[in-house]
Amino acid sequence: MHTLDAPGCHRLPARTLAELPSRRPLEVASAGGTLWLTLDGDPRDLVLERGERVLIEAPGRVIAQAFDAAVLELRTAERIFAAATPKLAFAS
């Protein structure tokens, strides 16, 4: 099993397992391929197809599995809020 500690895009070969960072909130997206996510203590599992994303706020371990060759994108709180903050330009 791989451990992913850093934000960014991570290539996962088919059938690879990866433990995701414990920092919250954590946004997980599929930038390619199909990902299966399971969260400790949550009976539901999530399947992300290319272009889909989910925001994980609950504490606990998160494991991702690539069904096929996939690209998993991680964004932590700092990057999530930076992307969501509108940029304002003022004319002088």
Q: What does the pLDDT look like over 14-38, one tens digit per residue? A: 999 999 999 899 999 999 999 999 9
10 Å CB burial of residue 36 (0-12, 13-18, 19+) is middle
pLDDT at 89: 52
The string of pLDDT tens digits covering residues 25-80 is 999 999 999 999 999 988 999 999 999 999 999 899 999 999 999 999 999 876 55
Q: Does residue 13 belong to any structural domain of this protein?
A: yes
Total number of domains in the chain: 1
Q: What b/e sequence results for 58-74 when a residue is b if at least 16 CB atoms lie within 10 Å of its CB, and e otherwise?
A: eeeebebbbeeebbbbb
| Lookup: tokens for 13 | 């070969």
Q: Does residue 85 belong to any structural domain of this protein?
A: no
Q: Does residue 86 belong to any structural domain of this protein?
A: no
Q: Does residue 88 belong to any structural domain of this protein?
A: no
**What is the number of alpha carbons within 13 Å of residue 77 lying toward its C-beta?**
5
How many angstroms from the chain centroid is the CA of residue 60? 14
Q: Does residue 92 belong to any structural domain of this protein?
A: no
**Domain hosting residue 30, numbered range:** 2-79
Q: What is the CATH number of the domain that holds 71?
A: 2.60.120.10
